[in-house]
Chain A
C-alpha cells in the first residue's frame, strides 16, 4: 500500500461540542502533508487523534494498514516506536540533560550498549546543529534550540512518520528556514513521511506536497497547493492571500 495513514469518518467531540466532523483523508508514503485551518478548527485535535493521545468518538484510523483506534496499548506502542512527534513547546523532560532527552527512546526501546546510544545521540544532535548543547539542560536553551533538540529526540529511532505541531511558531525567519531545510532533508534522505500542523505561509509554500484545510472541524479541501489554488475556495484564497 502506498498510504501510511488512512482516516475514515473520524468524529471527535469535546463534551457536546463537535471538534472534528466526519474527517476522511489518506497520507501517502514519503510526502509532506500539511494540516491547515483557522484557529479552533481542530488541527491539533486531529494530530492528537492520529498519534493516539485522544480516542475518537467514532471513525477509524489506520497506520501502516493497521486499525489503531481500538488497538491494545502494547501493540500500539509497537507502532509508536516507528513514529516521532515534535510538540509545540518541544516538551523536553526538564529534569534531564539534552543528550539524556534524545537518548530516552533509544534506552527504552533498544538493548543497545551505552556507547552506541551516545554515538547515535551525537549523530542526531549534529544533524540539528546542536553539538554544543550535549551537556546542557533544556532550561538553558532558547525556544528554537529546544525545538531542534525535540526534533533530534523525535528522529532518534529513525521513524517512518514524523508529526510536527507548529514547528516554526515563535521562531525567527532564519531559524524557521533552516528548520524547513531540515524537514526537506529528512524527507529526501531518510524517506520519512511528515505530517505538519502550521500556519506559516512561507513555510507551507516551501515544503508542502499536499494539504488539508479544516474549517470548524469540517474538511474544506485536500490536495496539492496548485489544486487548492485552482479550486478557488473563498476561505482558502483568503488564507493564502491569493485574491
Chain B
C-alpha cells in the first residue's frame, strides 16, 4: 500500500513484491528531479526482500528516504550480503577469444587423432583376439547398424536413382542421347550418390546413436565402471561398432548402388522406351571394376569417419542430459560434413587417377 501526495510517497504499513512495479510506473509519471521526491517508509513494518532490494536501489538515486531503524538495519544487512564479485571468469578480449577458439579447435583435432589411433589399434586387435569385448556384440551391432538400415537405404537410394534419371532423361531425350542415361546413372550412383547417400543415412541413424550411447555412458560413470573392471571402453564399447560399421556400410552401399540403378532402369524403360536388354548390356559394359572399388573404398572410409566422430563427441561430453543432446547433434553435423568433404577429395583423386 502506498499513497502519492505531490512530492511525497508514503508507504503504508505493509509493502510487498507485487506493489513495486506499479510504484515504479507511478514514479516515472511524476517525472521530477529525484532530490525533490521523498519517500516515507517510517511506518512500514511488513516487507520482503524484494522491497529491500528496491529501497536499496533508490538510495543510490538521490531520493529523499525516511526509514525506520529496523529497516535501515535490514537494508545494511542486505547490502553487505550482495557485496561479492559474481563474475567468475575474466572476460576475454576479441583477439584472445579468437585465439582461444582456435586453440580449442586444435585441441579437439589432437584428441581426435589420438582417439582414432587408439580405436584402430584396439579394433584391429579385437578382430583377432576376442578378449575384452562381449560375445555376440559385433553381430548385434551389425544387426543394428546394417540390417535395420536396409529399408530406409533401399527407399532413399531408389528415389535418388529415380529422380536423378528422370531429370537427366528429359534433357538427354532432346538430343536423342537416350542410351547415355545408362552411363550417367551407373557411374553417378556407384561412384558418388550410392556411397554418399548411404553414409549420410547411416551417420544420421547410427553415428548419432553411437554419440548418444557413449556420452550417456560417460555421464552415468558406466565407462569408469568398465575401466575399474579392467576393461578398456575402446575395446569393449567402440571396437564392436567399428568392426560392424566397416562390414555394414560397404554392403549397404553396394545394395544402394544397385537399387539406385534399378530406379534409373525404370525411367529408362518407361520414359525413354529403352529395352531392358539394351539397358542391361550397356550397364554391364559401363561399370568397370574400378568404379566398384571406388565405391567400396569410399564407404569404408566413411564408416570409419562416422564411428570415430561419434565416439569423439561421446567421450568428450560435458554436462548432463543437455550435454548428451549437444554431443549427438554435433556428431551428426560433423560426420555429414566430414563425409561430404572426404567424398569431394576422393572424387578429385579418383578422377585424375583412374
- The bracket for how many chain A residues form the interface is 20 to 34
How distant is the Cα of A83 from the Cα of B231 in the complex, in angstroms? 13
User: CB-CB < 8 A to B236: which residues of A?
Assistant: 108
Q: B220 and A80: CB pair below 8 A?
A: no
When each residue 71-92 of chain A gets 1 if its CB lies under 8 Å from chain B and 0 otherwise, what string results? 0010011101101110111011
A49-65: contact bitstring with B at CB < 8 Å (1 yes, 0 no)?
00111000000000000
Q: A53-B228, A104-B229 are in contact. Are A87 and B217 (CB under 8 A)?
A: no
Q: Is A66 an interface residue, CB under 8 A from the partner? A: no
Give the number of residue pairs across the A-B interface with Cβ within 8 Å: 60
Whether the Cβ atoms of B231 and A108 lie closer than 8 Å is yes
Q: A residues within 8 A CB of B3? A: none
- Which of A48, A52, A80, A88 is B229 in contact with, Cβ under 8 Å? A80
Residue A94 interfacial (CB < 8 Å): yes
Q: Does B70 contact A (CB under 8 A)?
A: no
Contact of B224 (CB < 8 Å), options: A73, A91, A95:
A91
The reply to whether B230 and A51 contact each other, CB–CB distance below 8 Å, is no
CB distance from A46 to the nearest CB of B (A): 15
From residue B179, how far is it (CB to closest CB) to chain A in Å? 52
Q: Are A89 and B231 in contact (CB under 8 A)?
A: no
Q: Decide if B132 is an interface residue (CB 8 Å cutoff).
A: yes
Q: Across the interface, do B220 and A94 meet the contact criterion of CB distance under 8 Å?
A: yes
Which single residue of chain A is at the shortest CB-CB distance from B235?
A108
- Judge whether A88 and B135 touch: CB under 8 Å: no
Q: Indicate whether B221 reaches chain A with its CB closer than 8 angstroms.
A: yes
Determine if A93 and B222 form an interchain contact, defined as CB atoms under 8 angstroms apart: yes
Complex alpha-carbon distance, A126 and B5, angstroms: 80
A153 to B134: give the CA distance in the assembly, Å.
16
A81 to B132, CA, bound (A): 13
Given contacts A53-B224, A94-B220, contact A107 B229 (CB under 8 A): no
Is B152's CB within 8 Å of the partner chain A?
A: no
Residue of A nearest to B222 (CB): A91
A91 in complex: contacting residue of B132, B134, B225, CB < 8 Å: B225
Residue A105 interfacial (CB < 8 Å): yes
How far, in Å, is B208 (CB) from chain A's closest CB?
16
Contact between B228 and A51 (Cβ–Cβ < 8 Å)? yes
- The smallest C-beta distance from A32 to any residue of chain B, in angstroms, reads 19
A107 to B230, CA, bound (A): 12
Contact in complex: A108, B132 (CB < 8 Å): yes
Is B227 part of the contact surface with A, judged by Cβ < 8 Å? yes
Return the chain B residue nearest A165 by Cβ: B221
A77 near B228: Cβ-Cβ < 8 Å? no
Contact of A104 among B217, B220, B224, B231 (CB under 8 A): B231
Q: How far is the CA of A95 from the CA of B228 in the complex (A)?
A: 18
Q: Please name all residues of chain B whose beta carbon is closer than 8 Å to the beta carbon of A77 when the two chains form the complex.
A: 230
The proximity string for A residues 84-120 relative to B, scoring 1 for CB distances below 8 Å and 0 otherwise, is 1101110111110000000011011100000000000
B57 contacts the other chain (Cβ, under 8 Å)? no
Closest to B135 in A: A107
Given A91-B220, A93-B217, A94-B220, also A108-B225 (CB < 8 A) = no
CA distance A120 to B224 in the complex (A): 24
Which of A92, A93, A94, A109: most chain B CB closer than 10 A? A93
A53 to B229, CA, bound (A): 11
B8 at the interface (CB under 8 A from A): no
Q: Is the CB of A85 within 8 A of B225?
A: yes
Contacts of A85 in B (CB 8 A): 225, 228
Q: What are 29 A-B interface contacts by the 8 Å CB criterion?
A: A48-B224, A52-B227, A53-B227, A76-B230, A77-B230, A78-B230, A83-B228, A84-B228, A85-B225, A87-B221, A87-B224, A87-B225, A89-B220, A91-B220, A91-B224, A91-B225, A92-B222, A93-B225, A94-B216, A94-B220, A104-B229, A105-B230, A107-B134, A107-B135, A108-B131, A108-B231, A108-B236, A150-B225, A153-B229
Contacts beyond the supplied A105-B229, A107-B135: 15 A-B pairs with Cβ under 8 Å:
A53-B224, A53-B228, A80-B228, A80-B229, A81-B230, A83-B228, A89-B220, A89-B221, A91-B220, A91-B221, A94-B216, A104-B134, A104-B226, A107-B134, A108-B131
